[in-house]
Structure formats: structure tokens, C-alpha cells
Amino acid sequence: MTNTGIWVAILVSSGLIFVARIVGYNVPGSILAKERLQRITGLIPIVLLSALVGSQTMVKSGEVVIDHRLAGLLAGAIALRLKGSFLIVLVIAGLTGALVYNFS
């Protein structure tokens, strides 16, 4: 994609976001108070963060790879599932990733 194409994409997406925000202010409260909509909007940040973590963990130079980052993520997920504290989860994930990186 050329620089011009990138700038066009940025400007168009910025305009769409601006319009979405303006429309959002005009949505009646009765629609926003629906339980289903509140559950969906509560899950959107979780889904976006999960997609970011997945793409940053398993993609390198546009290709899907399985390497030390995935091992660290899995170790951290297991530690989190076992109710480890935040610091413990980070240390376990970091050590696992470093060990797999050094010994592979």
C-alpha cells in the first residue's frame, strides 16, 4: 500500500469513528439500557485484547509461527488458571518464554 493509500485509510477510518461517536450520543437511553447490549459491550474490550495478544504472540513478519512467545503465554495462562497473583503469572510467563528461547 502506498503512502497516499495509507493516509486515505487513516482519514476515512477517522471520519467513520467520528460519525459513530456522534451517532452514539443520539441513541435513546432505552436502547442502551437493554441487558443484551450491555453484555455485548462488556465483552468487546476482552475480545479486542485477546485478538491483540493472539496476533502479537503468533505472528512474525506476516506469518504464523509457534515459538517461545506462545510457550510463555500458555505458561502464564496456566498460572492464571491456578489463581496465581499477577506478579507470579508475569514471572512464570517470562521465565518460560526465556527458557524456551534459550534452549531451542
| 15-64 tens-digit pLDDT | 999 999 999 889 888 888 899 999 998 999 999 999 999 888 888 888 88
**Alpha carbon 94 to its chain's center:** 19
Total of domains in the chain: 1
Say what percent of the chain tops pLDDT 70: 99
Residue 30: CB atoms within 10 A of its CB come to 7
**3-state SS assignment for residue 64:** strand
Provide the 8-state DSSP code for 66. Answer: -
Tell me if 8 is assigned to some domain: yes
Tell me if the pTM is above 0.85: no
Tell me if 91 is assigned to some domain: no
Tell me if 48 is assigned to some domain: no
Tell me if 73 is assigned to some domain: no
Q: Using CA atoms, how far apart are residues 17 and 22, in angstroms rounded to an integer?
A: 9
Domain that holds residue 21: 1-33
Mean pLDDT of the chain: 92
